[in-house]
Structure 1
Amino acid sequence: MTPTTSRQAGLAAILALGLMPGLAQAAELDGSQLSVWWGVPFAGVLLSIALVPLLAPAFWHHHFGKVSAAWALAFLVPFAVVMGPGVAGASVVHALLAEYVPFIILLTALFTVAGGIFVRGNLHGSPALNTGLLAVGAVLASFMGTTGASMLLIRPLIRANDNRRHQVHVVVFFIFIVSNAGGALTPLGDPPLFLGFLKGVDFFWTMSHLWGQALFLIGTLLVLFYAIDWWYYHRREEIRPLDPTPDTARVGFDGGVNFVLLGAVVALVLMSGLWKSTVEFDIAGTEVGLPGLLRDLGLIAVTLVSLKLTPARVHENNQFSWGPMQEVAKLFAAIFLTIVPVIAMLKAGVEGPFGAVVRAVTNADGSPNPAMYFWATGALSSFLDNAPTYLVFFNTAGGDPQMLMTTLAPVLVAISAGAVFMGANTYIGNAPNLMVKAIAEDRGIRMPSFFGYMLWSVGILVPLFALMTWIWFV
């Protein structure tokens, strides 16, 4: 353990000890009594994620954990002083046990399992093969997560096209389809949907309500990609005379045991959603159900088994490292803590500090406006990460999963679609976007700048989102 890590751990322990007394007497946080200034640390975390990597990439690379910890403490210390250790402690425990820990455990399991599968051999990137790989990735994304599917397929896709001069469009459409839109059908697919699942949304609800929108968007993108890739592929100067990747190995998979473990991940998540148990454990006011507890323990076991059984050469070939997962874990720890007062204020509705936000997505008669929810969720997901944005608007719509799945189903569809699909609008909208960009650049592909990428997304995705609004949300 480094000195910095020791200091952080010691500070966390001191804070935990200070918050423990009085947890049982903590009252539920009343958002209508909070000032909008309590949302500043949350906004600070998100703006740091959006801007610091662009303005000071070296600083961010070395200090993103410290930046996250600073914002978390900027919220937690004043909150404990003003609200009392009981309310602050109960809020922190709920944020960690009910949302953050299950979220990180699932993401770690998918990241580890996907990192243990290596696609060997050299494919040859024709328009048909590339389109087929993107279609396969879109399907896989809903069952092994956008992060898992992206990490599994981006390297073989780049190898398949490394003898072509024009590769940027392949990676851009990969981000559109595999890293975002493909994750729309199950809670395994994208972090926002898993958070909804933790909040009580049925596992198969998204599949039964978003399949039309997902099929339209993915299908249209695949057709557009094939046309663009065909045009590039048939230019005379497209194919380089020498393929950098020799055909020395037969196409196949190494680390096949991880496919079995992927099935175990799906089974564990399904079990936790379908099994209703009356056994619950009350931890400082947060109820932890037996199915969720067994799911998380099972996912930890899957992660450890994958690390044990995956040959070292597979991880080496995949360039597997814990860096991306560590970044996600540290950043989201700050996000899930600082979002506590924001959610409480949104739950207060029009009477709360964020009444203007609630009114903006509400019709004059008081009913929610699905089109506004779609664009408001999507716009913030484009720049502020889609997982916390989903939570914000989920709670703006009332936060009652039963009501949102039935009477307000069009609103939950709009929130889900906006969070998942529009995460592709920028590099920072969804975690896999930046991972894919980094891998592509490491392999010599000159990816567009932040705003250069947005020229692609605004030109291709935004018109499709406008058409989807007219078809489904008006």
Structure 2
Amino acid sequence: MAADFDGRQLAAWWAVPFAGLLLSIATLPLLAPQFWHHHFGKVVAGWALAFLLPFAAVFGAGAAGAALLHAALAEYLPFVILLTALFCVSGGIYIRGNLHGSPALNTAVLAIGAALASVMGTTGASMLMVRPLIRANDDRRHKAHVFVFFIFIVSNAGGSLTPLGDPPLFLGFLQGVDFFWTVRHIGPETLFLVGWLLALFFALDSWYYHRREELLPMDPTPDSRGIGFDGARNFWLLLAIVGLVLLSGTWKSRIVFEIGGLEMGLPGLVRDVGLIVVTWLSLRITPARVHEANQFSWGPMQEVAKLFAGIFLTIVPVIAMLRAGLDGPFHAIVAAVTRPDGTPDPAMYFWASGVLSSFLDNAPTYLVFFNTAGGDAQHLMTTLAPTLAAISAGSVFMGANSYIGNAPNLMVKAIAEHRGVTMPGFFGYMAWSAAVLLPLFAAMTFLFFR
């Protein structure tokens, strides 16, 4: 199986397709936006073939086929199926009515979004909450900071408590991490970060709100009928998603299906088929007017699916080399996160996984360091629990450091700009994250990961 391939047989240059793909994701939307918009699928396919074809030539078509099959069936499809279900169901819920964006209201919306993020995913919560928040603040002159903090809190930190919250944690769940392990082990860290971010946001938003001429003379969105939900039946489907994921993690079955040498357990298959049914039901029961009101489009989901197809394939040799530990070509990385006595250093894991999550993508970054720490879920959840907590926190929290750290970040930016909000550029956003997030991460290191 590809996942068990001996990384000691590989040279470091086998990581070039993975690094090239992530570098393309980071830079091409900025340097060549038109080219990227029209051809990003071809770029992804090119980097995937840059790994697969040489791998087949050197190790044989059988090994290349096993790598492709494992990446597709064991990791990519369950990941994308869950993300699609959350994206579709949340897009079928429209929060109607016109709120008024006072500091208290905005802070409450961010807090609610943070709570929802661990239940319906950072993508689902972001897509559900960003549109009413835009309407609530469309009579404010200064509002970019609202959506910067929205990305910090709802699109990232809020999703740290369950595998439903953020893709890295779902990957950990697929690797054998218990569903409720994260909430037990990084719950205090989450409360610390979200609590401080909400307090800082309230202070900043209050300062803006009480400035002269902050409110426009006329609210662009007139008051309408009371606050409520259209497409509320989708809330039942959200509960079904939670139930299916919980079922797959708790149900033990001896029934397995072998596909090309890869064993697929019955609980995982039931979960994935159930999520597909949930997605179909949401599309059937959601009125067209709800999707129109939400400006629902498959474009963002299609882009994420194509990008992750390449990521999950090109990361195969990287994981194999990291699993080789000190005997592999990436021994320097393993040494950097390892203390002189050979034990893992949680603080280094927190920052190493976090820095890579800031500029690459937090899902594969989590997977890389999960395997660097040994890749044994039971050992990581018990003996090495501080290390797994550091990897989980770094991957989820620091995905907020840049627009490319987590999939919802760019989605929120695009929606806000489409609605007329002038969002900061790539480096402008990073100035915000450096000023607000990095001091909090430094404090967390001393408080939780020493």
TM range, smaller chain: over 0.9
What per-residue deviation string (whole Å, max 9, x for no partner) do you get for residues 257-286 of structure 1?
100000000000000001111111121222
Q: How does 1:68-467 map to 2 (within 5 A)?
A: 68-467=44-443
Distance 1:58 1:104 in 2: 26
User: C-alpha displacement at 1:287, in angstroms?
Assistant: 1.4
SS in 2 for 1:287: strand
SS in 1 for 2:95: strand
What per-residue deviation string (whole Å, max 9, x for no partner) do you get for residues 160-191 of structure 1?
00001010110000000000000000000000
Given that residues 27 and 86 in structure 1 are in contact (C-alpha distance below 8 angstroms), is that contact kept between their aligned partners in structure 2? no
What per-residue deviation string (whole Å, max 9, x for no partner) do you get for residues 341-362 of structure 1?
1000000000001001100100
The answer for the alignment partner of 1:44 in structure 2 is 20
Given that residues 4 and 320 in structure 2 are in contact (C-alpha distance below 8 angstroms), is that contact kept between their aligned partners in structure 1? no
SS in 1 for 2:258: strand
**Aligned equivalent of 1:470, options 435, 442, 446:** 446
Distance 1:74 1:38 in 2: 9
User: C-alpha displacement at 1:250, in angstroms?
Assistant: 2.0
Amino acid at match of 2:376: D
Distance 2:306 2:269 in 1: 22
Amino acid at match of 1:173: F
Amino acid at match of 1:178: V
Amino acid at match of 1:300: I
Given that residues 95 and 229 in structure 2 are in contact (C-alpha distance below 8 angstroms), is that contact kept between their aligned partners in structure 1? yes
Amino acid at match of 1:246: P
Distance 1:395 1:282 in 2: 24
Amino acid at match of 1:225: F
SS in 2 for 1:193: helix
1:445 to 1:27, Cα distance in 2 relative to 1, 3 A: closer
Distance 1:282 1:32 in 2: 28
Distance 2:259 2:217 in 1: 64
What per-residue deviation string (whole Å, max 9, x for no partner) do you get for residues 387-407 of structure 1?
010000000000000000000
Distance 2:264 2:76 in 1: 13
Question: Where do 4+ consecutive residues of structure 1 move more than 2 Å?
Answer: none
User: C-alpha displacement at 1:194, in angstroms?
Assistant: 0.2
Q: TM-score, normalised by structure 1?
A: 0.94
Distance 1:420 1:146 in 2: 10
1:27 to 1:321, Cα distance in 2 relative to 1, 3 A: closer
SS in 1 for 2:46: helix
Distance 2:71 2:420 in 1: 41
1:357 to 1:450, Cα distance in 2 relative to 1, 3 A: same
**Aligned equivalent of 2:9, options 23, 26, 33:** 33
What per-residue deviation string (whole Å, max 9, x for no partner) do you get for residues 202-242 of structure 1?
00000111110000000010010000111111112111110
User: C-alpha displacement at 1:334, in angstroms?
Assistant: 0.3
Amino acid at match of 1:342: V
Structure 1, unpaired ranges of 5+:
1-22
Amino acid at match of 1:135: A
User: C-alpha displacement at 1:28, in angstroms?
Assistant: 4.1
User: C-alpha displacement at 1:27, in angstroms?
Assistant: 10
Given that residues 427 and 453 in structure 1 are in contact (C-alpha distance below 8 angstroms), is that contact kept between their aligned partners in structure 2? yes
Distance 1:249 1:388 in 2: 44
- Work out the percentage of aligned pairs sharing the same amino acid: 74
Distance 1:373 1:422 in 2: 12
State the number of aligned residues. 450
What per-residue deviation string (whole Å, max 9, x for no partner) do you get for residues 432-469 of structure 1?
00000001111111111101001110000000000000
Distance 1:35 1:144 in 2: 40
SS in 2 for 1:320: coil
Distance 2:425 2:119 in 1: 30
Q: TM-score, normalised by structure 2?
A: 0.99
Given that residues 162 and 169 in structure 2 are in contact (C-alpha distance below 8 angstroms), is that contact kept between their aligned partners in structure 1? yes
User: C-alpha displacement at 1:143, in angstroms?
Assistant: 0.5
Stretch of structure 1 that moved more, 246-255 or 384-393: 246-255
Given that residues 386 and 430 in structure 1 are in contact (C-alpha distance below 8 angstroms), is that contact kept between their aligned partners in structure 2? yes
Given that residues 28 and 87 in structure 1 are in contact (C-alpha distance below 8 angstroms), is that contact kept between their aligned partners in structure 2? no
Given that residues 3 and 67 in structure 2 are in contact (C-alpha distance below 8 angstroms), is that contact kept between their aligned partners in structure 1? no
